[in-house]
Amino acid sequence: MPTDSLSGIGVSAGVAAGPLLRIAAAPALPPPAPVTDAESEIARAFAALAEVVAELGRRADRAQESTVAEVLRAEALMADDEELRDAVREEIEGGTDAPHAIDAAFGTFREMFAEAGGYLAERVADLDDLRDRAVAVLLGLPMPGVPQPGHPYVLAARDLAPADTADLDPEYVLALVTEVGGPTSHTAILARALGLPAVVACRGVLDIPERTLIQVDGSTGEVGPGSSVLRAENRTSSEISGPGGTSDGHAVKLLANVGSVKNVPAADEAHAEGIGLFRTELLFLDRTSEPTKDEQVTAYRDVFRGMAGRRVVIRTLDAGADKPLPFLNQDGEPNPALGVRGLRVARQRPQVLTTQLEAIAQAAAECEADVWVMAPMVSTLAEASEFAAAVHEAGLPRAGVMIEVPAAALRAKDLLGVVDFLSIGTNDLSQYTFAADRMCGELADLLDPWQPALLQLIAICGAAGRESGKPVGVCGEAAADPGLAPVLAGLGISSLSMSPRALGAVRASLARYTYAECVRLAETAVAAPDAVSARKLVL
Ligand code: PEP
Ligand code: MG
C-alpha cells in the first residue's frame, strides 16, 4: 500500500477497515506446454472442473435469493457435464495441455450454443465464466468474480457489474472501493442499500497489493492504511421516529427505496412511512429467461405483506443501460442510455409490461398495502396516458410516472392531468439534463444534486403538484441528502424516498426548519449560480 492515502468520491457514509481483496480478472492462457503424462494431465483437468462445480455449489448454498441459487446450480450442472469431460480428454490425448484443453473443449460448446440461438445462445457467457474459473484453478490463480474468502474484507474493483452484486455478502464485505463509477452508479446505490461504506472513482486502488489492510471513509472518500478490521457502525437512527415534516407540521412523507423483501426490515427499523421506490428489476438481473407471472406475484407479495396499511410505490421493470436484463436481449444498442430502456421496452415487448401489471395486481389484491404503480423513463404525455390506462386496466387504482427526462419535467402539469402522482428520479434526471453519464466519476460535479438547473426542473414539478393537489415525490439519491431535504420540501415535494439508512438524518434535518424557511431556502438554491454556491448559501 502506498503510505499516502488515495481519494475518491465518498458515496455511502461510514468508516470500515479490513484486508483489501480484488475482483479477480479472467486468467490469460499461458503458452502451450508439452504433455508427458496424458492420464495425470486429464486428472488435473477433471479436478479443476470438479473444484469449479464444488465452488458453485457452495455459493448456491450461501445465496440468499432463490433465483441466484438457481442460476448458480444451473452453471454447476454445465461444468459437470460428461460430454464436456470427454471433449477435454480427447484434447489432452491429442497432446494439448490441461488449460488449453479446457479452453478448446469449452470453445466447441460455445460455438454449438451460439449457433443454436435462443436459450442456448444466452448461456455462452456462462460457458466463458466456467472456462475462466477452471483455467484459474489450473494456474493456481483466484477464480474470477467476487472473492469468497470466508473472512471479512474490503472489496476493490474497477467497477461492479450488476451481476456481481448478487454475490456480495454483507456479512463479509466491509466496504466497497471502485476505480471508476459515479455517485449514482449502481455500486453506490447498492452500497447505500446494504449500509456499506463506499468510495468510487478512486484512482490507484487496484495498485494496492492484495490483503493490505486499508481503511475506507465513505463520507470523505479517503482510502488509507488501516490497522485492524473495523466494521462500519449501524447508522440507522431508531431514536428519531414519527412522520416526516417541518417543525411547523408541513408533512413530507419519508419513504424507503427497496430492491426486494430483504430490505424491508431495514425500512421498518428506520421508521419509513412506506416504500417510495420498489426497484423490481433488481429481482431479475441474473435471469436469462423472463420471470413467470407466479414468480413475480410471490416476489411482490413478499414486499407488500410487510407493508400493510402503508404506501408501496412499485416501479415496473427498468431495464437497459446500467441495468441490462439478459432476457430482454438488448445487446447491440450503440447508445443504451438513450436507447430502448425503461418504459420504452414496452414498445417492443408489450407483453412483459402486461404480465408484470397483472402480477402486481394479483399480489396487491392478496395484501393490505396501499399499492401505487409507476413507470420509469417516461418522456411524453402519450406514454404517461397509455401507461395509466394499462395500470387501470389491470385493476390497479393509482398510476404514476417517474420524471427522469427533462422533457417530462417541463410538461409535469400536463402529465399530472393523466396520472395520479409523479416521482422524480434525480439520478437519471441529472444524467439527461447535464448530458453526463451517471457512471462517470469524472463528471461527478455535473451530477451534483445541488445543480441549480436540476433544482429548477424539480421546481416545475413541485409547482405542478401544488396546483393539482397531486403528490410529487423524489426517489433518486438527492432525496438522501439531509441538507437538500428542506430545499426539496420548499420546492413543493411531498415525499422523499431513500435508502433506509439515510432516513434518520433526513427526518432530523427537515424538522429543523419551518415550511416558510424551506420555501426561502429553495428560492436561494434555485437562484444560485452553481451547485457549490447553492450548497454554501443553504447550509
Ligand atoms: C433515478 O434515476 O433517480 C432512479 C431513482 O432510478 P434508478 O436509479 O433505478 O435508475
Ligand atoms: Mg432511473
Is 413 in the same domain as 433?
yes
Residue among 428, 434, 496, 499 to mutate when testing ligand 1 (max atoms within 8 A of CB): 428
Q: Between the CA atoms of 115, 120, 122 and 125, what dihedral angle is there, to the nearest 10 degrees?
A: -80
Question: Where do runs of H (alpha helix) occur along 244-372?
Answer: 264-269, 293-305, 345-348, 350-365
Q: Whose CA is nearest to atom 4 of ligand 1?
A: 425
Is 415 in the same domain as 533?
yes
pLDDT attached to residue 54: 94
- Compute the distance from residue 427 Cα to the ligand 2 centre, in Å: 6
Residue 118 lies in a domain: yes
Taking the chain (539 residues) in consecutive chunks of 10 residues, what is each chunk's mean pLDDT? 74 86 89 96 97 89 69 87 96 97 95 81 82 95 84 90 68 90 72 81 92 89 86 52 90 96 91 96 79 95 96 94 76 86 94 97 97 98 98 98 98 98 97 91 84 98 98 95 94 96 89 96 97 89
> To which H or E segment does residue 498 belong?
strand 495-498
pLDDT attached to residue 401: 98
3-class secondary-structure state, position 178:
strand
pLDDT attached to residue 64: 62
Is 322 in the same domain as 372?
yes
3-class secondary-structure state, position 98:
helix
Residue 124 lies in a domain: yes
Q: Tell me the sheet residues that pair with 402.
A: 423
Is 223 in the same domain as 307?
no
Is 12 in the same domain as 44?
no
Half-sphere exposure of 478 (CA within 13 A, CB side): 33
Q: Of 277, 419, 290, 260, which Cα lies nearest the Cα of 355?
A: 290
Residues 6+ apart with CB under 8 A from 536: none
We report the CATH number of the domain holding residue 212 as 3.50.30.10
- Compute the distance from residue 445 Cα to the ligand 2 centre, in Å: 19
pLDDT attached to residue 397: 97
pLDDT attached to residue 114: 84
Domain that holds residue 170: 6-24+145-235
Pair 206, 191: CB distance under 8 Å: no
Backbone angles phi, psi at 410, to 5 degrees: -65, -30
- Nine-digit cell string for 215: 481503511
pLDDT attached to residue 235: 42
Q: Of 108, 112, 54, 114, which Cα lies nearest the Cα of 80?
A: 54
Half-sphere exposure of 3 (CA within 13 A, CB side): 0
Is 329 in the same domain as 386?
yes
Residue 29 lies in a domain: no
Q: With helix as H, strand as E and coil as C, how does 385-425 read?
A: HHHHHHHHHCCCCEEEEEECCHHHHHCHHHHHCCCCEEEEC
Protein residues with CB under 6 Å of any ligand 1 atom: 189, 277, 279, 318, 404, 425-428, 475-476
Residues labelled catalytic: 186, 475
What letter does residue 251 receive in the DSSP assignment?
B
Cα separation, 454 vs 486, in Å, equals 16
Is 57 in the same domain as 156?
no
Cα separation, 337 vs 245, in Å, equals 35
3-state helix, strand, coil in the chain (%, to 5): 45, 15, 35
Residue among 11, 279, 317 to mutate when testing ligand 1 (max atoms within 8 A of CB): 279
Q: Which atom of ligand 1 is nearest to the CA of 376?
A: 6
Residue 321 lies in a domain: yes
Q: Of 426, 358, 414, 351, which Cα lies nearest the Cα of 382?
A: 414
* Angle at which helices 350-365 and 381-393 cross, to 10°: 50
Question: Where do runs of H (alpha helix) occur along 63-147?
Answer: 66-79, 82-93, 98-116, 118-122, 124-139
- Compute the distance from residue 237 Cα to the ligand 2 centre, in Å: 27
Pair 374, 399: CB distance under 8 Å: yes
Domain stops at, among 104, 139, 174: 139
- Nine-digit cell string for 7: 481519494
3-class secondary-structure state, position 240:
coil
Domain stops at, among 139, 155, 189: 139
- Nine-digit cell string for 105: 473443449
pLDDT attached to residue 240: 57
- Compute the distance from residue 426 Cα to the ligand 1 centre, in Å: 7
Is 495 in the same domain as 420?
yes
